[in-house]
Amino acid sequence: MESTGQNPPQGNHTTLMDFILLGFSDAPDLRGFLFGVFFIIYVIILMGNSLIIIITKVNPSLHTPMYFFLRNFSSLEICYVSVTVPRLLTDLCRQNRNISFLACATQMYFFLVFGATECFLLTAMAYDRYVAICNPLLYPLIMNNRLCNQLAACCWITGIPVHIGFTCLIFSLPFCGNNQLNHFFCDIPPVLKLACGDTFMTEMLVYAVAVLVVTIPFTLILGSYVKIISTILKLPSATGRAKAFSTCSSHLTVVALFFGSGIMTYMRPKSSHLTGMDKFLSLFYTIVTPMFNPIIYCLRNKDVIGALKKFLPKWVVL
């Protein structure tokens, strides 16, 4: 039973103290299988991103702005998936899937902060590629260590104050009646469904924050790549065009996967939200996309592949 969105009679108003994460309880026969799949994916994400962090740190040839941001991105991916996947794995192994208000709010807060950081970091990576391809002579001067550190710090910090207030606002809403959260983590749409009373202003704020955090960065990235592709097509050498495309294709693929699923989740009208579709999209941008990121960056980047070939034999010998 879902909340009707209307204020119940005052006498029947019971304040909830926790939620029940239903997750994949509607498929009990698949719990063991799902646990195995999600556990393997989680290990792949941790190992793949850790390997990228180590390689870009120890290999001097990868001490460039592009790989500095990639190292930050891999660190972020580890934090991002660790907000939701360990809890999901735990819930698949137990009957009691209760989560307190505080734990739910904490999970939502860190999920939103790391999600916003990913949007900003992908934008910074697009700017780096824009400068490298459209202003190659000025690239070392513009993308110096100081600017790279400042951009990275802004990406990590900017979402923190916004989402503290945003999370507090959502959890200050009255929750009563049904406490079954039909999701595998505390995301905004399923939590708002359980709120009693008028949530219109909160929903409008969700769209406003989504525009600031998702739509504007995505538009900036698209604008950067319009300029980048235009510049690449003007290059006289076919080899130069191929090399320029190869350095951008990995980033553009990750952008399409992450922003595509994110926009479909948070920018759709509330009336079009279906539980099954929301769970699928959430799985896509919280688990599947982070799993593909290390693969995309490694397989489509000759520098990283070269560094891997040098690094792995030494590691195996040790």
In sequence order, the 6+-apart residues with CB closer than 8 A to the CB of 163 are 109, 112, 113, 116
CA distance linking residue 28 with residue 211, whole number of Å: 38
Residue where the block lists tokens 């509330």: 270
6 lies in some domain: no
Q: 244 is written with which tokens?
A: 């320029």
Question: What is the SS3 assignment for 174?
Answer: coil
Give the whole-angstrom CA distance, residue 122 versus residue 127.
Answer: 9
β-pairing, 18-21 vs 98-100, is antiparallel
> Rounded to a whole number, what is the distance in angstroms from the first to the last CA of the chain?
57
Boundaries of domain holding 63: 18-310
Contact at 8 Å (CB) between 178 and 3?
A: yes
Cβ-based neighbour number of residue 306 at 10 Å: 14
Rg of the Cα atoms in the chain: 22
DSSP-derived secondary structure letter, 182: -
Range of lowest pLDDT (102-111, 132-141, 247-256): 247-256
Calculate the alpha carbon distances from 241 to 125, 130, 153, 246, 249 in Å.
Answer: 19, 14, 32, 9, 12
Question: Does residue 65 lie within any of the structural domains?
Answer: yes
As for how many domains the chain has, the answer is 1
Is 83 inside a domain boundary? yes
| pLDDT tens per residue across span 223-281 | 999 999 899 888 887 777 777 777 787 778 888 888 887 777 777 666 555 556 777 77
Check: pTM over 0.85? Answer yes or no.
yes
Structural domain contains residue 1: no
Query: Does position 11 have pLDDT exceeding 80, yes or no?
Result: no
Section 188-212 average pLDDT? 87
Query: 82 in a domain, yes or no?
Result: yes
**CA angle, residues 127, 289, 84, in degrees to nearest 5:** 110
Percent of the chain with pLDDT over 70: 88
- pLDDT, greater one: 188 or 95: 188
Write the pLDDT tens digit of every residue in 159-176.
Answer: 999 899 989 999 998 887
Phi/psi at 99 (nearest 5 deg)? -135, 130
Burial class of 49 by CB neighbour count within 10 A (0 to 12, 13 to 18, 19+): buried
Contact 117, 160 (CB under 8 A): no
Query: Which CATH number covers residue 271?
Result: 1.20.1070.10
pLDDT higher than threshold 50 for residue 312? yes
